[in-house]
Amino acid sequence: MPYLQPPKGKSPNDAKAQRAALALRIDRAARDLNPFLMVFAAGLVLLNLTFCLGMAVARQPVEWSPPLRNGAVAAPAAVSPAVFTEGAPATRPGH
| Segment 20-55, tens digit of pLDDT | 899 999 888 888 888 888 999 999 999 999 999 999
Q: How far apart are CA 53 and CA 6, in angstroms?
A: 62
Is residue 72 in a domain? Answer: no
Is residue 86 in a domain? Answer: no
Q: Does the predicted TM-score (pTM) go above 0.75?
A: no
Is residue 85 in a domain? Answer: no
Is residue 39 in a domain? Answer: yes
Does the pLDDT of residue 69 top 90, yes or no? Answer: no
Range in 25-29, 57-61, 69-73 the model is least confident about = 69-73
Q: How many CB atoms lie within 10 A of CB 35?
A: 9
Query: What pLDDT band is residue 6 in, cutting at 50, 70 and 90?
Result: low
Is residue 28 in a domain? Answer: yes
CA distances from 26 to 18, 31, 33, 71 (A): 12, 9, 10, 70
Is residue 46 in a domain? Answer: yes
Is residue 80 in a domain? Answer: no
- Look at the chain and report how many structural domains it folds into: 1
DSSP state of 67: P
Q: How far apart are CA 38 and CA 57, in angstroms?
A: 29
Most confident of 8-12, 36-40, 69-73, 75-79: 36-40
Query: What pLDDT band is residue 7 in, cutting at 50, 70 and 90?
Result: low
DSSP state of 80: -
Average pLDDT over residues 60-74: 72
- The mean predicted confidence, pLDDT, of the chain is 77
Is residue 79 in a domain? Answer: no
Domain containing 51: what range? 14-59
